[in-house]
Structure 1
């Protein structure tokens, strides 16, 4: 067992004093006897007449191959100048690391030089050596295991980052690129064929990808089904695209697993190093971001700063939006929906509005997609439902009776999938003392195609509460008309893309006429969005459209302004 640091220091200091005392009292023989009691190589070295002399050495020193004559000792040959510098100094202790031998059988020593205080000018010192070879080899072996993927034998994520960092320091950031490869459908393969087959596939993929690389490229496995490649750009950024193409070609041949032939597709993201990139980790993150975009686009993607900045902005919006929801900092604005025949307001659509903590208004087109992707759409939708029901109750209280309108609230497709909508709506109605008939719930066509059976059950439950159901943005999705007939939908909302500019476009008029005919056949009412002129409103009314919504009537306004508008128009 190796001596502890404190024990070694104590041993060396005691040995130095004992050896020096013995040398004085009994001569070299006495010093040798003391040194032979030490378990580590030791020698008393003297600088005399411009040369070194071993006053005495112990047995471990000789067995290490360090010799008995200073002129022939590798210790003096390699460390002579350091020993001279120590002897000419006023110091009493010095420790240095020393390697002896070639790379394969190299031995590592911790060399300590020591002498008694007050005798710095006598040109002699005790040198002891602690063999740290086994300890260092164990450390390096453990470190190598920590930086290596146990399945493929490739560098793992930390190992890849360390290798890339070292190469960047050596030749610069601009000479490197990182490719990140993600295997498509791997989780499905793993689930169907089992973990062992999945591991076999990963090993086979690693071999093929390795075969498609150049000799100096570095392949690593950085995740479950993710690989990364460090490329040196000899001919510029085009090298990365060529390597990506070779990898895709290498994976075109199916893999044989058990009784199956598996075709493996992959998504590849590329990040090119430049001076704007801070370090290796940032370059890897850029490549991973590009890979995520490649999974959506279906083609190899090269990192673009603008797309990454947009993603970071969305993360910032998510953080601020979470705080805004928790602190009730959002508001509802209300846009009127009017009867095209009479001009009276029959409903308001509730629309979420948000001004962030810096006083900047954030468009719903920015924060609603972020809320859907992050899952914040569930608490946001619950807040909107409760706020809308409370607003209806407040308007009724101000009017002294039923104020004569209901409020429409949008239900996101993500919200329909993740939340229990009917119980949530029922709780909001009960908490505010509002009847279900005062609430219209608007769903998009995309919400229906995700899980038709579950959505149908949800809609039936909402109808049992007395709510009105509307299909928003009709004509822009993928509705199955036969299935549409079975759903308890009351209103079809014609998307503004068909209404805007309709008077000058015969095709749009034909589409609107077809939607109106369909709604009439199914016994549904219709609302046209995006009405901005009286001529457009009159034409839609003549075609048989029931209701209209748009800037002709009003922009979305806060609750108090909406009530004032209601009182003025419907008086």
Structure 2
């Protein structure tokens, strides 16, 4: 009556006998005679072990046949407790062949890239993990290959041409590999290779060179000949690498370095540790911005002719929740790369305007100074600067003329027309515009003439040691002459001695900033200094 294959098997006189079998059992090709049945041939020892045990049931998986037409059964042997001495049991089988084939097919699809037929990221990691467990980490290296400017090809020729190119690239790379190397497509335009190191780490460099050579010949797509360059990162397994995923991550990190350096890069622990440190800074900085844990300090800018403070430069300072001070030279680049420079810049602008309003209240009127706020090149491109500044001014009742916005020369290089529109919009708010670190970048003097810049700030690298260096004096004199010709005022950074301040004043410099006057101070101390010096 059972709808699944079933048989009552008896072990007597040293041989098996089928007491009875049902129709599904016969239709499954499992036979009607025990000595001719593949069930007994395959499971005889296990059946005997069960019959000689004290158990009343047992269950396990069984495969019947060769790999191509293999069938998969779930086998269950059972008997009553009173029948333990009888040498008889009921065997039932559930055919799971279709189910397992479907599972394996789905798993194969999950681990395979549908476009190229290569292993995908998950499949590559799984294969590498299996090989590493079997042979050890030191026998393997991973190469990660990223196609340069592939997005531009996709945008110009369309997605189908891009797919065709990826297939062609995969074939070329495959042809450059050895028979036992494994190629995978791990991302949109990223490939990874599992290399067996037969002769040590030099094998990976040789394979990387062959891949570069294989991609030298242009690819033909439609009516175009496409040259494909690639960046290759290599990581070599050793005792310090704990698992396959770590080896892949190291190769991806090396590939990102290769994109910057333009050559094949091998993973270096020190560089990775630095990147991990920067990631840690990014995480903590994000929390600091959200939690309001940053502070602004203010360094005075003085009139070189009178010594009076005319303005303060607002400088961001950060001490972590663990009490560790982080230099702006460390966290500002991280903020720019991660995009945190936008909320950081907005906070600085709002804090500067709020501080200036507080100083005015303390003075009973206009306190007589402005505050300079730095604008990052990344911030200028990612944020709507003019509306942001306008909102900060309105929120704290500060006039635009009381705010100076400092830009670096690098901000003008990437998109000068857009920056020019932003600067004119800022001038429309009445703000003062200063070019910071002048002389260290690559400004186009024609743009400098057209832009509404009010102040040129001479970089400290030209000011420090200027009195003992004729070349520096010549550079400073040239900058001052240029500013005078363009109707701009000048501020010299890095002034540390009275002699230097007097020399710059004699040369025609308008303002000075440096440790001679004060180091960056908290808001209250800065206001006290202002009250004392300008009283």
TM-score range relative to shorter protein: over 0.9
Q: Equivalent residue for 2:366?
A: 402
Separation in 2, partners of 1:324, 1:558:
18
Note if 1:120 corresponds to 2:84.
Answer: yes
| Aligned with residue 348 of structure 2, among 366, 377, 384 | 384
| Aligned with residue 258 of structure 1, among 200, 203, 222 | 222
Separation in 1, partners of 2:85, 2:319:
78
Separation in 1, partners of 2:428, 2:30:
95
| Aligned with residue 278 of structure 1, among 227, 236, 242 | 242
Separation in 1, partners of 2:27, 2:363:
105
Q: Equivalent residue for 1:45?
A: 9
- How far apart are 1:209 and its partner, in Å? 0.2
- How far apart are 1:63 and its partner, in Å? 4.7
DSSP 3-state at the match of 2:83: coil
Note if 1:170 corresponds to 2:134.
Answer: yes
Note if 1:478 corresponds to 2:442.
Answer: yes
Q: Equivalent residue for 1:519?
A: 483
Pair 1:430–1:131, CA change in 2 (3 A):
closer
- How far apart are 1:318 and its partner, in Å? 1.9
CA RMSD of aligned residues (A): 1.6
- How far apart are 1:62 and its partner, in Å? 4.2
Q: Say which is worse superposed, 263-272 or 93-102, in terms of deviation.
A: 93-102
Pair 1:401–1:135, CA change in 2 (3 A):
closer
- How far apart are 1:312 and its partner, in Å? 2.2
Note if 1:551 corresponds to 2:518.
Answer: no
- How far apart are 1:512 and its partner, in Å? 1.1
- How far apart are 1:53 and its partner, in Å? 2.6
Separation in 1, partners of 2:25, 2:362:
101
| Aligned with residue 347 of structure 1, among 306, 311, 314 | 311
Q: Deviations over 1:299-322 (max 9, x none)?
A: 111122222222222222222222
Unaligned runs of at least 5 residues, structure 2: none
| Aligned with residue 131 of structure 1, among 88, 95, 99 | 95
Q: Deviations over 1:176-208 (max 9, x none)?
A: 111111111111111111111111100000000
- How far apart are 1:59 and its partner, in Å? 4.5
Q: Equivalent residue for 1:441?
A: 405
| Aligned with residue 208 of structure 2, among 244, 262, 276 | 244
The residue correspondences of 1:164-563 to structure 2 (distance < 5 A) are: 164-563=128-527
Q: Equivalent residue for 2:51?
A: 87
Give the alignment's TM-score, normalised by structure 2: 0.97
DSSP 3-state at the match of 1:110: strand
| Aligned with residue 161 of structure 1, among 100, 125, 149 | 125
- How far apart are 1:78 and its partner, in Å? 2.8
Separation in 2, partners of 1:567, 1:305:
52
Separation in 1, partners of 2:430, 2:23:
99
Q: Deviations over 1:84-116 (max 9, x none)?
A: 111112222111111122222222222211112
Aligned residues: 535
DSSP 3-state at the match of 1:270: strand
Q: Deviations over 1:523-557 (max 9, x none)?
A: 11111111122222222222221111111111101
Separation in 2, partners of 1:421, 1:67:
84
Separation in 1, partners of 2:391, 2:67:
75
Q: Say which is worse superposed, 129-138 or 252-261, in terms of deviation.
A: 129-138
Separation in 2, partners of 1:195, 1:153:
18
Q: Deviations over 1:385-409 (max 9, x none)?
A: 1111121122222222222211111
DSSP 3-state at the match of 2:184: strand
Separation in 1, partners of 2:369, 2:174:
68
DSSP 3-state at the match of 2:54: coil
Separation in 2, partners of 1:437, 1:43:
97
Q: Deviations over 1:368-401 (max 9, x none)?
A: 1122122221221111111111211222222222
- How far apart are 1:363 and its partner, in Å? 1.1
Unaligned runs of at least 5 residues, structure 1: 1-36
Separation in 2, partners of 1:58, 1:94:
20
Separation in 2, partners of 1:202, 1:323:
41
Q: Equivalent residue for 1:55?
A: 19
Separation in 2, partners of 1:527, 1:195:
53
